[in-house]
Structure 1
Amino acid sequence: MKQVKLFDDFYQFNSGSDFIPITFNQYLLLGSEPLLVHTGSIDQTKELLPKIKDLLGSQQLSYIFVSHFESDECGGLGFLLEHYPQAKTICSEITARQLKGFGITHEIIIKKPNETLETDDCQLNFIAYPSEMHLWEGLLVMEEKRGIFFSADLFIRMGNITDPIVDSKWAEEVKSITDQNIPSSSAREALQSTLLNLPVRYVALGHGPFLKVQ
């Protein structure tokens, strides 16, 4: 697992796959209330944990954001919460139900689209994400203070990460969303309309490099 310092208070962790040419990313935003975006699978979380502990030091992890219920987004959540039991998981209502069904009963903050969460360090704006083939309601999130959009599986770049930060054009990224990403034309068009109006400066991909919007 590689650790990449993107900003002074913001890190990406990425690891490859033995089966397909793709990376799996997690992100840590430091500050007075540190936020982790995704845990990775259980094996990835076991690699991630010592890196988080080193960056946090004596500080506790405050929040863990889970965009949707899938192993590379939250497979290691239970393990991580054993080490940071006070951390609050942020997710959609459907994801929360799935987590509780797997025995994760720590505090969960359920958010709906267009709701926000503000801390001393960041302002999170949540966006509807009809994720996966069943179109279960997940969440995407925009960190307004830095202009970072966390895209989960919406935009995927195959291959290993050679350049940690890559230039991109936001309108082209949004236009690239297809039936493979969201298999509902009405849901896809509604999301694209929402995304085009966001003040995005960076895109934190779930799979691929960190994008700097031109």
Structure 2
Amino acid sequence: MEPRIDEIADGIYRLSVRVDAIAPPAGFTFNHFLVLGDEPLLFHTGLRRMFPLLREALGRLMPVEKLRWITFGHYEADECGAMNEWLAVAPLAEVAHGQTGCMVSLNDMADRAPRVLRDGEVIDLGRGKRVRYIDTPHIPHGWDAGVLYEEASGTLMCGDLFTQVGDGPALTGSDIVGPAIAAEDMFRFSSLHPSMGATIRRLAEISPRTLALMHGPAFAGDGAAALRGLAANYDDRVRALLAAA
């Protein structure tokens, strides 16, 4: 479970931990993203039990105590289980999340009051790095779900979207839609509902150049096409579900 560290876009580092016990024999990766700037940001805290590993890995890139922002896709153990551990070692750090996540979970569960982000709100991290928060309720699951877009590098940190099993390169130009469809068939982790496709197609309008997956390799290429492909599959799933009702 030694973390692997790779720069997937300018100033954005993927800290990846592979767990062989999940979906054997392929295994499963848990990815966490550090955006360097005057105010460094961590997207995904990792599980509490992974915290010592991730703290050591992040410390190779910057002083841990200088971490400024902590955020994640939605309130779930692998997304934010170590939130308070990071707050304890980084005294200036703030958790930042959408209004729903703060209201239903983080105002109580975070050891320091979180910063509430409006849909579309931007945090300027300095050194040219700007991250935009985008609400994506129930996409792929969780009422409080959202994604983060780093504008300078065109990197969409897309949480559980495109989840796939197995390991591989840190950054790929290969198809990520097919493996994501296979993972959905295996885990059934998404909250299927009629607005899924439309919400994901709105993300495609950003035209990201890099997709930072929480579970799987980061993707470099036509992010809009990949998002539209995923949206089409979810549209098909919802139509089939409604037809069977």
TM range (shorter): 0.7 to 0.9
Structure 1 residues 132, 189: closer, same or farther in 2, change over 3 A?
closer
Structural mapping, 1:124-203, within 5 Å = 124-131=131-138, 135-160=142-167, 162-168=168-174, 181-186=190-195, 188-203=196-211
Structure 1 residues 99, 200: closer, same or farther in 2, change over 3 A?
same
Q: Does 1:19 align with 2:22?
A: yes
Structure 1 residues 133, 3: closer, same or farther in 2, change over 3 A?
closer
Match of 1:5 in 2: 7
Rg bigger for which structure?
Answer: 2
From 83, 86, 109, the equivalent of 1:77 is 83
Structure 1 residues 19, 135: closer, same or farther in 2, change over 3 A?
closer
What is the rounded CA distance, in whole Å, between the counterparts of 1:180 and 1:67 in structure 2?
A: 15
Name structure 2 gaps, 5 residues minimum: 223-245
Measured after TM superposition, the shift of residue 189 of structure 1 is 2.7
Match of 2:68 in 1: 62
TM-superposition CA deviations, 1:133-172 (whole Å, max 9, x none):
8741221111111000011011112112x212111579x6
What is the rounded CA distance, in whole Å, between the counterparts of 2:115 and 2:149 in structure 1?
A: 17
Structure 1 residues 132, 126: closer, same or farther in 2, change over 3 A?
closer
- Say which SS state the counterpart of residue 46 (structure 1) adopts: helix
Q: Percent same amino acid among aligned pairs? A: 25
TM-superposition CA deviations, 1:51-73 (whole Å, max 9, x none):
22232138611111121000000
- Say which SS state the counterpart of residue 23 (structure 1) adopts: strand
- Say which SS state the counterpart of residue 45 (structure 1) adopts: helix
From 86, 99, 111, the equivalent of 1:105 is 111
Measured after TM superposition, the shift of residue 3 of structure 1 is 1.6
Measured after TM superposition, the shift of residue 212 of structure 1 is 0.3
What is the rounded CA distance, in whole Å, between the counterparts of 1:182 and 1:194 in structure 2?
A: 18
Structure 1 residues 57, 114: closer, same or farther in 2, change over 3 A?
closer
Equivalent residues of 1:169, 1:213 under 8 A apart? no
What is the rounded CA distance, in whole Å, between the counterparts of 1:6 and 1:122 in structure 2?
A: 15
Structure 1 residue runs of 4 or more that deviate by more than 4 Å after TM superposition: 132-135
- Structure number with the higher strand fraction is 1
Q: Does 1:213 align with 2:221?
A: yes
